[in-house]
Structure 1
Amino acid sequence: MSSRLCAPFGACAVALGFLTLWHCASQTRLPPTARAQISARHAGTTVELRESCYFGELYDENELWLLSPYAFADTSHIVDLKGEPIHPQGQRDIITAGSRFVIDRVEFPDATALAKRMITTPRYNPWVYLKPVEGSDVSLSGRRGYVVILPAELETEEQVENALSSIFAPEGNVARWLETRRPTVKVAIATKNVFEGMSREEMIASMGMPLLWFIEQSAEGEKRVAWYGSKEVWLKSDAVLAVKDGRPVAHKPRDTVASEAMVAPIQGPRS
């Protein structure tokens, strides 16, 4: 049985009471009215994934699945006390772009949410709770649902809406777009692969938005490099030229929010 109560009980309540209150204090700058409007706007809406995603363990939460466009080895929303990234474990399989979900709710890290979330999860981030559309190929696989983690630094209603629209498309949009793709591209998107000749749009549907962009200058002109951690994709004129092993990157962008006892939030990969 997993424990999600932020407030301790019994003798621990006396020793840790003040610390608990701090841990459970609201961590969102969005006013309650904005949070309520966003939740009401999206709750019950059927959407499609814009990008193929991996799913697996939501860190130490054992009742929900995490969805991420990146391999879990390249996914991190929290760090340890030394500032080292903590990666989710138990990557299971791929849920393809165009898969349909119902948004159950958009939950912000207010005091109520923090009291329910386990400490060893990205509890300071907004969470989008999803359930597969009934009759779809996506199953719950024994869990209550799926969660997409939004960046922790969202401060306005517009930023939240932009983050949501970058992940989800209205029902039917992605499915119709996929119908116009070449068979080899459809397979690449479904298996999260990329090959020479794919367009930038097709690359993103397969791999997600790049974690970082680089510009490379050569005698042949300027090339853009989409960095995905263990892999990088070279493009020119929005067409894939080559796929190479990812270069080492010393410093990735991350939040500077003070950590709690075990983990601290880091910046989401979208920027």
Structure 2
Amino acid sequence: MPRPSRSLSFLMPLLAVVSVGCASATRMSPEDRASLDRSLSGPDAEQYLRVSSYLTPFFGDASKRLLTPYPPEDVRLLDDTSGRPISPGAIQATVPAGTRVRITKVEFPTAWVVTERVLYTPRSWPWVYVTVEGAPAGEQVVLVLPPNLDRPDAFRTELEKTLTPHSLKDQLAGFSAAVQEAVRTKKLVADMPADALRMAWGPPETVRRSLEGTARNEEWRYAGERRKAFLTDGRLVRAEEAGTSLLP
């Protein structure tokens, strides 16, 4: 057997270090990953935003933008050395619920992919690349999904919190003009229904439910508990952001 060339021998220790230092961060099988990518960037590529979302910088990668339902203060994708969340950057645009998007690629954090990604990014999370209707052509927009999604159905469940294959036109048309505007601008108005609240603010991290007589109460808490929304019988009655009331 021929001996490795001098240059290849030099690279082998380096490649070994890279492979050890950047272990794969996905537990999904290669077959399932490939199947999801083919489906979601092929026949299932055409989607709509289920939730009004922000476009922000993508942390340390200037070539991409982050698509997120949450304001930068509530994004929990990357921590500093003290364990504090790092903001991706200031809001650059708001994309209303119902906007058409197209999935162009699903990228899982394999060892090689993690190595190739910019260090100052959520490298160990799955990335879904999308094009957003109305955004500049060729712009790389990324929706980041939670890590450790080991089954295709779990992956799709997470994806469907932000995207849907169905148009929201009829659902949005069923809201009052004030609620439609609130959803479009990611604001809140009193008495908006729970579906509209979810479209405006995104899905909460936790929901606390209680009964008061015949009234059904819910408290929606978002990441870091900086934002809270309170509903009675499926309608918004109170909301807070950083301890400040948002409704008259």
Q: TM-score range by the shorter chain?
A: 0.7 to 0.9
- The TM-score normalised by the length of structure 2 is 0.84
**One of 162, 166, 175 as aligned partner of 1:167:** 162
- Conservation of the 8 A alpha-carbon contact between 2:215 and 2:233: no
TM-score, reference length from structure 1: 0.77
Contact 1:76 1:88 in 2 (8 A): no
Q: What's 1:23 paired with?
A: 21
Q: Where does residue 32 of structure 2 map in the other structure?
A: 34
Unaligned runs of at least 5 residues, structure 1: 1-12, 248-271
Q: Given residue 109 of structure 2, which amino acid in structure 1 is its aligned partner?
A: P
Q: Distance in 1 between matches of 2:218 and 2:15?
A: 52
2:216–2:233 CA contact under 8 A, matched in 1: no
In the alignment, does 2:188 pair up with 1:194? yes
Aligned residue identity for 2:21: H
1:235 and 2:245 are equivalent in the alignment: no
Residue-by-residue CA offset, 1:198-231 (whole Å, 9 max, x unaligned)? 1111100010001232346768866211123432
Q: Give, in angstroms, the shift of residue 176 of structure 1.
A: 2.6
**What is the identity, as a one-letter code, of the residue corresponding to 2:82?**
K
Cα distance in 2, alignment partners of residues 245 and 75 from structure 1: 15
1:115 aligns with 2:115: yes
CA contact (8 A) 1:52 1:94 kept: yes
The 2-side partners of 1:164 and 1:48 are apart by 11
Q: In structure 2, the residue corresponding to 1:86 is in which secondary structure?
A: coil
Question: In 1, distance between residues paired with 2:210 and 2:242?
Answer: 14
Indicate how the Cα distance of structure 1 residues 80 and 14 shifts in structure 2: closer, same or farther if over 3 A, else same: farther
3-state SS of 2:157 partner: helix
Alignment counterpart, residue 147 of structure 2, candidates 136, 152, 156: 152
Do 1:195 and 1:243's aligned partners in 2 also have CA atoms closer than 8 Å? no
- 1:53 maps to 53
Aligned to 2:70: 70
RMSD: 2.3
Cα gap change, 1:81/1:194 in structure 2, threshold over 3 Å: closer, same or farther?
Answer: same
Q: Which deviates the most, 13-22 or 111-120?
A: 13-22
The size of the alignment, in residue pairs, is 229
Q: Does 1:104 align with 2:104?
A: yes
Structure 1 residue 24 displacement after superposition: 2.9
Q: Identical aligned pairs, as a percentage?
A: 25
1:81 deviation in Å?
Answer: 2.5
Within the candidate set 185, 188, 193, 2:179 is matched to 185
C-alpha separation in 1, matches of 2:104 and 2:21: 26
5+ residue gaps, structure 2, are 1-10, 244-248
Cα distance in 1 for residues equivalent to 2:90 and 2:241:
23
